[in-house]
């Protein structure tokens, strides 16, 4: 029977947790599920009410859980299945919701399906994967060929990501049923939905002809991204599973997805994550470039947000985010690190009042910034960094500069709780080094200071909740779209209007605001005729219609 969809997520404020790096309750150096339970008070105090937990499944940790060894057990480093049930219950008791990351494009090569597939070409599991006699010139996302030779079978298997993460063959109906069963299992356990990992890649160009983009190995995403069969699979997934639960489904569709595709995707799932707004400073793939060449183009950034709002508003829901566990820290990306405090508040305020379901990434509410390790090895817990270094194309200084700017490790360095050793994340030895700035940047200090970034986020979240209709359903208008420093937008709904003015530069900027607006929040002193470095002001007014 179909279940009524209540769209509860339209009132939610999301928070993403990378569980290995959040809080270590048993001091083995890795965060865990009990650690999340211990910190639920901190999260509910902040005001977030929807948690997205990155993969929790048993995994050899080549890609920290995105390589699933067993869909039905919690990785023992994180705890056990009982801890997951406790986490779900505890989250619900706090009046929050929880969604899991469901990884369905690939598994780990340690998964029993893959092991069976390698034993016997005639086993049913062989067709759960994609095998070919010959490789072609397609490159995957982790700087290597999508094909790896299996000496057991004398065939090559396909992997969009690391060679230890073989892709599943979604054209096989039996495999699809296996995945639907996994989803049902977790929905029955009580989770409120899923972030669906890497779903853009479920279907490949099955001609497997060489890409014409180059004679050499080349990343040609058209060969395995957003192909039309993906929509058939998602339609079936919806009919078999999602329609029967009041659940939230958010698909990760990556940077290649257009707004038209988003409308197609949202016939079957609630919303999609694309990354258009995450790299508008040229940092993506910027290896070899100097830091001076990396500059945020605010005019483009604003236009990208507008493009997505224009396409989705009133037509489909969408998530809002500055970053996730695959991106650099947003204060380092779009803020000014010398103005970390102001930047972090400004970025939080700009995000929280736009259209969509906001997701704060762990530590964003503390203004956590990129790590600046001195050794390349300190970035090696990320398989994509290891592969880049392995390729041997770049010298050490070039690699280090790039990794400090772009590495996924910046989002994954341990959450900074206090000034104790390892930032209070663990009494053991953390699996990733803590950011050196933890004595200054940590939750304890943030909680104790009235004007902290955390308290600013908290207040913005309260204001967002009080004005949710206006924010969610109101129109979005960019003011002075060509201004290179100011991000100014208006939201209007019924007889209310919200005005957000944010300075993305260190310069002092004059602003003019009509006297009928009242100030809701700002990250600077009372003078609102000027915006200081990375300043932000949010105003509201009632519109008197005659």
Report the interface residues with ligand GLC, using CB under 6 A: 63, 66, 103, 161, 197-198, 252, 325-326
> Of residues 197, 317, 378, 497, which has the active-site annotation?
197
Here the tokens at position 338 are 């010398």
Any idea of the CA torsion for 150, 156, 161, 164, to the nearest 10 degrees? -10
Question: Which residues make Cβ contacts (< 8 Å) with residue 41, sequence separation at least 6?
Answer: none
Least CB distance to ligand GLC at residue 379 (A): 14
Least CB distance to ligand GLC at residue 412 (A): 9
| Rounded Cα gap, residues 140 and 218, in angstroms | 8
CA 67 to chain centre: 17
Question: Which residues make Cβ contacts (< 8 Å) with residue 312, sequence separation at least 6?
Answer: 259, 262, 263, 266, 318, 355, 356
In this structure, how many other beta carbons lie within 10 angstroms of the beta carbon of residue 531? 27
Residue with tokens 């969610």: 472
Cβ distance to ligand GLC smaller for residue 325 or 541: 325
Cβ distance to ligand GLC smaller for residue 66 or 147: 66
Active site residue 252: yes
> Given the DSSP bridges, would you call strands 319-321 and 536-542 parallel, antiparallel or unpaired?
unpaired
| Rounded Cα gap, residues 316 and 434, in angstroms | 39
Measured on CA atoms in the order 115, 120, 124, 126, is the torsion positive or negative?
Answer: positive
The span from the first CA to the last CA of the chain, in angstroms, equals: 49
Residue with tokens 């299992």: 185
Cβ distance to ligand GLC smaller for residue 31 or 424: 31
| Rounded Cα gap, residues 404 and 382, in angstroms | 13
* CB-CB contact of 227 with 283 (8 Å): no
Stated as kind and residue range, the H or E segment containing 251 is strand 248-252
- Gyration radius (Cα) of the chain, Å: 23
Residue with tokens 């396909």: 158
Least CB distance to ligand GLC at residue 122 (A): 29
* CB-CB contact of 172 with 127 (8 Å): yes
Active site residue 205: no
CA 260 to chain centre: 21
* CB-CB contact of 362 with 15 (8 Å): yes
> Of residues 252, 270, 341, 342, which has the active-site annotation?
252
Cβ distance to ligand GLC smaller for residue 165 or 531: 165
Judge residue 40's burial from the number of C-beta atoms within 10 Å of its C-beta, 0-12 exposed, 13-18 middle, 19 or more buried.
middle
| Rounded Cα gap, residues 311 and 186, in angstroms | 32
Q: Which residue is nearest to ligand GLC, using beta carbons?
A: 66
> Given the DSSP bridges, would you call strands 486-493 and 509-510 parallel, antiparallel or unpaired?
unpaired
Q: Show which residues are catalytic.
A: 197, 252
């Amino acid at each position: 029977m179909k279940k009524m969809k209540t769209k509860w997520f339209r009132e939610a404020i999301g928070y993403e947790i990378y569980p290995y790096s959040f809080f270590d309750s048993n001091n083995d150096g890795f965060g865990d599920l009990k650690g999340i339970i211990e910190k639920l008070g901190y999260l509910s105090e902040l005001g977030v009410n929807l948690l997205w937990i990155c993969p929790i499944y048993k995994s050899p940790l080549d890609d920290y859980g995105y390589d699933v060894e067993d869909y039905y057990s919690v990785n023992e480093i994180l705890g056990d299945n009982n801890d997951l049930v406790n986490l779900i219950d505890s989250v619900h008791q706090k009046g929050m919701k929880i969604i899991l990351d469901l990884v369905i494009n690939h598994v780990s090569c340690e998964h029993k399906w893959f092991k069976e597939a390698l034993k016997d070409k005639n086993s049913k599991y062989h067709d759960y994967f994609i095998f070919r006699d010959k490789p072609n010139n397609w490159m995957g996302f982790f700087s290597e060929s999508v094909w790896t030779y299996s000496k057991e079978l004398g065939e090559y298997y396909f992997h969009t990501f690391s060679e230890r993460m073989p892709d599943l063959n979604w054209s096989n109906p039996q495999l699809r049923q296996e995945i639907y069963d996994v989803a049902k299992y977790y929905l029955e356990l009580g989770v409120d939905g899923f972030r669906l990992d890497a779903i853009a890649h479920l279907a490949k160009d099955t001609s497997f002809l060489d890409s014409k983009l180059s004679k050499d190995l080349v990343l040609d995403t058209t060969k395995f991204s957003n192909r039309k069969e993906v929509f058939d699979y998602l339609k079936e997934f919806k009919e078999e599973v999602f329609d029967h639960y009041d659940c939230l489904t958010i698909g990760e569709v990556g940077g290649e997805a257009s707004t038209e595709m988003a409308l197609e995707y949202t016939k079957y799932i609630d919303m999609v994550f694309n990354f258009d707004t995450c790299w508008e400073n040229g940092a993506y793939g910027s290896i070899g470039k100097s830091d001076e060449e990396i500059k945020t183009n605010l005019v483009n950034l604003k236009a990208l947000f507008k493009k997505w709002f224009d396409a989705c508003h009133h037509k489909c829901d969408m998530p809002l985010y500055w970053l996730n566990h695959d991106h650099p820290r947003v204060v380092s990306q779009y803020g000014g690190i010398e103005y970390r405090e102001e930047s972090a508040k400004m970025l939080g305020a700009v995000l929280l009042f736009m259209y969509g379901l906001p997701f704060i990434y762990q530590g964003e509410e503390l203004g956590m910034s990129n790590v600046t390790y001195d050794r390349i090895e300190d970035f090696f817990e990320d398989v994509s960094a290891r592969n880049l270094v392995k390729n041997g194309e770049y010298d050490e200084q070039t690699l280090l500069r790039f990794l400090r700017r772009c590495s996924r490790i910046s989002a994954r360095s341990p959450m900074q709780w206090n000034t104790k050793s390892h930032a209070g994340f663990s009494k053991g030895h953390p699996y990733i080094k803590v950011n050196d700035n933890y004595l200054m940047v940590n939750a304890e200090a943030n909680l104790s200071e009235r004007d902290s970034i955390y308290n600013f986020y908290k207040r913005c979240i309260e204001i967002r909740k009080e004005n949710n209709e206006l924010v969610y359903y109101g129109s979005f208008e960019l003011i002075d779209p060509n201004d290179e420093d100011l991000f100014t937008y208006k939201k209007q709904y019924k007889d209310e209007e919200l005005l957000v003015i944010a300075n993305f530069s260190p310069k002092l900027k004059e602003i003019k605001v009509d006297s009928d607006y009242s100030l809701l929040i700002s990250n600077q002193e009372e003078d609102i005729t000027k915006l200081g470095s990375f300043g932000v002001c949010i105003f509201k007014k009632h519109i008197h219609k005659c």
